[in-house]
Amino acid sequence: MAWGDRRAGGQLLLPGEALIWGLTLGLVWAAVLAASPWQSSRYLMARNEHVVMRSAMLTAVALAVFYALMMMTGAAINLYDPQLDPERSMIWVALNVLPTWLGVVILTGVFAAGLSSCSTFLSIIGFSLSNDILPASTDEKSAMRKSRMAVLGAGLIALLLALFQPPAVMSVVWFAATLFASSWGPVALMSIWSRRITAAGASWGLAVGFVGNVAISLMVQAEWLSLPVYLHPVLLSTLMALVAITLASKMTRVSQAETAYRDFLHEFDSGAVSGWVSGTRWIAICTMLSGAAIGLFLWQQYAATLAGFAERFALSSGAVQGAYLLAIGCGSMLFIAGAVGYWLVRPDQKAAATRTFMADNR
């Protein structure tokens, strides 16, 4: 969504509202990348926390580069056909504009990304239903049968939705992200950093965050409820989940096994990562420099160019302001990410003291 996009009620977003929406989007995806099962399972394969931090910073740089190029690509596609459906734009370009070999590469990437996500989600659905939701299986064969039936059912439902529902990839992905952010986010983070959350609190937090988000989103979609931009359903449902976690945890007690496992998560072996500090700090410095360079590139090649064409093509002042804010925001976020990484990865004694302080004060 950008400046000038319409909300459900047909009202245009002002630059400040669009900025709030963009910040909300960023916080939601931060929670999803940190807590969602298909993402957090990747972190378990990392050798140590330094590998996770390095990959996170490098991925942020790559994403910013692709995002900058996407701005140029969107403007170029719009010159071919201003009425083109955004959901099909890259597919149309790959088939009708680009050289055959490059179109094949792009379509292969699109299909590979889709298949990768589908396989991951289906495996998570099958595992969750057979192990966590349905009654416990008596043997491995029964568990496998339940898992396969769950994958088949989920696949058929997704196929029917894809056949009869008009393309809305971004809308579906965004809605799914808010569901995980409001349900999984508080529970996952509090399970690591809070000494007070209990199993009952986690269960109620998952349920209330999920159901609350769905209910509020449906009411907004049906226009039964109108919310300002700063009160997005994901924010309200996250607050509801936090309240549910707090109340349920006060009524129950943390077991000794849960306390011991949390302490295990916070164990820190300084000798195991002593040789990784300097490399991670160099990547943090590169991330900061990349943020400054990408922000400057967007300022000169996107925002300044747009401002030069504003009068000629009767562009609104909001669109020009949005371009400059995009340049500043993209560069600043990368710079801040690198700075935070540089500050967190300090000499071992200071890092261990920070971890101990954070663990003891949660």
pLDDT in tens, 186-196: 988 888 888 88
CA separation, residue 279 to residues 45, 67, 99, 285, 334 (Å):
20, 26, 41, 10, 18
Residue 203 has pLDDT above 50, yes or no: yes
145, 166, 187 - which closes a domain: 166
Residues 145 and 173 in one domain: no
Residues 191 and 220 in one domain: yes
Domain-embedded: residue 38: no
Q: How many CB atoms lie within 10 A of CB 109?
A: 12
Residue 126 has pLDDT above 50, yes or no: yes
Buried b (16+ CB within 10 A) or exposed e, 44-70: eeeeebbeebbebbeebbeebeeebee
Residues 296 and 238 in one domain: no
Give me the mean pLDDT over the 132-154 stretch: 76
Domain-embedded: residue 347: yes
105, 138, 166 - which closes a domain: 166
Residues 81 and 95 in one domain: no
Residues 301 and 354 in one domain: yes
Domain-embedded: residue 34: no
Domain-embedded: residue 285: yes
Domain-embedded: residue 315: yes
Rounded percentage of the chain residues whose pLDDT exceeds 70:
86
Domain-embedded: residue 355: yes
Range of lowest pLDDT (5-9, 198-202, 231-235): 5-9
More confident site: 122 or 217: 217
Q: φ, ψ for residue 300 (rounded to 5)?
A: -80, -45
Residue 271 has pLDDT above 70, yes or no: no
Please provide the size of the chain in residues.
362
- What pTM did the predictor assign? 0.70
Q: What is the structure's pLDDT at 10?
A: 43
More confident site: 117 or 217: 217
Residues 110 and 159 in one domain: yes
Calpha distance 183→191 (Å, rounded): 13
* CB half-sphere exposure, 215, CA atoms < 13 A: 10
Q: What is the residue range of 313's domain?
A: 46-85+274-362
Residues 92 and 71 in one domain: no
**H-assigned helices in the chain:** 15-35, 37-43, 49-80, 89-96, 100-128, 140-164, 169-193, 199-221, 233-251, 256-265, 277-298, 304-309, 317-344, 348-360
Calpha distance 90→96 (Å, rounded): 10
Range of lowest pLDDT (60-64, 118-122, 170-174, 325-329): 170-174
Average pLDDT, the chain: 80
Q: What is the structure's pLDDT at 204?
A: 92
Q: How confident is the model at residue 88 (pLDDT cuts 50, 70, 90)?
A: confident
Q: What is the structure's pLDDT at 8?
A: 39
Domain-embedded: residue 24: no
Residues 80 and 91 in one domain: no
Calpha distance 144→21 (Å, rounded): 43
Q: What is the structure's pLDDT at 167?
A: 64
Total of domains in the chain = 3
Residues 233 and 292 in one domain: no
Give me the mean pLDDT over the 118-129 stretch: 76
200, 230, 263 - which closes a domain: 263
Quick one: CA torsion of 116, 121, 124, 130, rounded to 10 degrees?
Answer: -120
Residues 151 and 210 in one domain: no
Q: What is the structure's pLDDT at 304?
A: 84
66 neighbors 109 (Cβ within 8 angstroms): no
Domain-embedded: residue 4: no
Residues 307 and 344 in one domain: yes
Residues 134 and 159 in one domain: yes
More confident site: 308 or 11: 308
| CA angle 342–346–347, rounded 5-degree value | 150
Q: What is the structure's pLDDT at 7?
A: 47
